[in-house]
Structure 1
């Protein structure tokens, strides 16, 4: 299943939040445009690139990366990008890509 960017835009185009992988906290998504998921934390703001999320989904679907959300971040850093890997795990778990 390819990355469902349209779903992200529908659900979070104007912002929202999702539970973290470990639970108990939430990741704030401030917007989703054509290229980025914009996120914030009390101490920082950043964005997750659509191309990176799509590549990660492709690798997971091809069984080249784990579906386990707790182990995903390390593989994401080495195979895709060293940018907010844990935040990517939260988003992909929300989409049902990760367990």
Structure 2
């Protein structure tokens, strides 16, 4: 199944750092998300884009995970030649991740 079937997301950025929140539609699916959407899997999924580390923060009270991705925006908004300099499309891309 695709991640988008269990969750939605939001993206933010600061300099060359992007963060993606993955928020369960149903709090009962949070444990499944926590078990399957790991920092390593997100790093692998964005291997062509994210050059630094990926750290996952867990927010169980709201059924969410937040991934902070370093060296993710080609140097940042003022330095990148990417079409999506802010990385807003990264959350939509992550929703296409296959999960078990």
Q: TM-score, length-normalised on structure 2?
A: 0.29
Which protein has the bigger strand share?
A: 2
Higher RCO (Cα < 8 Å, 6 or more apart): 2
Q: TM-score, length-normalised on structure 1?
A: 0.29
